[in-house]
């Protein structure tokens, strides 16, 4: 899982808040371009990416689009402190580019609940391997 936000204090707070979730490794990025590069090299190992909407170099919506193009099963949560264009958000949600949304300021309990929900949804949709025995 990754947390991408251009504010270092946000990613550290979120990483600490989510560290107790068993079975996940949390990567943090203040640079969305570096996050994308890491994702491309490890795309099959990602279950969830949390991204801020407004960041320099690459907007959160553009980052999410690029992630989903490379691994459609990765779950995504978009967060922002700003007003969201409802038409844009609805379009992204309908195409399942954005799986969850959090409005800043975010309560830690809401963050944990949304992350747990998205990780559960990922597990339910994850392709199952069937081994044929003879």
State the residue for tokens 């949804």. Answer: 121
Q: Residue 114 half-sphere exposure, CB side, CA atoms within 13 Å?
A: 22
pTM to 2 decimals? 0.89
DSSP 27: E
Measured CA to CA, the distance from residue 42 to residue 65 in angstroms comes to: 16
Higher pLDDT, 88 or 50: 50
The answer to whether the beta carbons of residues 78 and 60 sit under 8 Å apart is yes
> How is the beta sheet containing 100-103 ordered, strand by strand?
27-29, 2-4, 48-52, 75-80, 100-103
Domain ranges of the chain: 2-125
For the domain 2-125, what is the CATH code? 3.40.50.2300
Summarised one tens digit per residue, pLDDT across range 64-110 is 999 999 999 999 999 998 877 667 767 777 777 899 999 999 999 99
């Amino acid at each position: 899982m990754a947390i991408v936000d251009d504010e270092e204090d946000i990613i550290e707070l979120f990483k600490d808040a989510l560290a107790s979730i068993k079975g996940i490794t949390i990567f943090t990025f203040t640079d969305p371009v570096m996050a994308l590069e890491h994702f491309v090299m490890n795309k099959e190992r990602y279950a969830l990416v949390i991204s801020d909407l407004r960041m320099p170099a690459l907007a959160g919506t553009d980052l999410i689009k690029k992630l989903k193009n490379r691994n459609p099963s990765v779950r995504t949560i978009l967060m922002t402190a700003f007003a969201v264009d409802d038409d844009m958000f609805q379009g992204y949600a309908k195409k399942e580019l954005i799986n969850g949304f959090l409005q800043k300021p975010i309560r830690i309990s809401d963050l944990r609940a949304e992350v747990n929900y998205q990780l559960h949804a990922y597990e339910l949709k994850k392709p199952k391997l069937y081994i044929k025995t003879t």
